[in-house]
Chains A and B, each alone.
Chain A
Amino acid sequence: DTAVSQTPKYLVTQMGNDKSIKCEQNLGHDTMYWYKQDSKKFLKIMFSYNNKELIINETVPNRFSPKSPDKAHLNLHINSLELGDSAVYFCASSSRQGYYGYTFGSGTRLTVV
């Protein structure tokens, strides 16, 4: 059973389109995150939800909108995609604010053409 699952694994789309990435965790964790990994492997947090409440909202264009329908799901919707949005997006989850670590999904490689 996959602990943190993301779909889709690959996403190729044209500039200007709107797309969504879904994430689900079955670990019973109370906090979920979205990270962006650029071409140089640098990882930066975008958003975090704790029990459906947004607790971290880094400096991210407002074209990116997270939604958490319940504490096991965190989706990422991106409007008006741009070339610079091409990256790998990782979902993660944790309990106790990450005291014991964070579990990551396998990533979604987004390519905007």
Chain B
Amino acid sequence: GNSVTQMEGPVTLSEEAFLTINCTYTATGYPSLFWYVQYPGEGLQLLLKATKADDKGSNKGFEATYRKETTSFHLEKGSVQVSDSAVYFCALKGKLIFGQGTELSVKP
């Protein structure tokens, strides 16, 4: 069946550092892929999405490219801020299968 695997956290970075959170998937066909973010004490917000292979999703300085060759959808940001501290989830359309979440902590 379909599945999503994310790199384990927690990830701790200094402000302005480069961020990569790895996500790989197993799926039939090419379903839409998503990154969701959960700030402390809040629900999940859609951060970005890609609906087909080779699409690049972007929002708030975050980017992810849907790569069918490597079945990956890695999240990147060039310069993180303290306000980016949250848990990030990679997800696959359908039942909306989530990865296990990666907690990011950004220190000033």
Residues of A at the B interface (CB closer than 8 Å) are 33, 35, 40-45, 48, 56, 90, 92, 94, 97-107
Contacts and interface: CB of A to CB of B under 8 A. Distances in A.
Nearest to B93: A98
- Tell me what chain B mostly uses at the interface: helix, strand, loop, or mixed: strand
B93 A33 contact: no
Given A41-B103, A43-B89, A98 B96 contact: yes
Given A102-B46, A104-B43, A97 B93 contact: yes
Nearest to B95: A45
Contacts, number: 55
A102 B103 contact: no
Nearest to A41: B101
Nearest to A56: B95
Contact of B43 (A48, A98, A107): A107
11 contacts: A40-B100, A41-B100, A48-B95, A90-B44, A99-B51, A101-B46, A102-B34, A104-B36, A104-B45, A106-B43, A107-B43
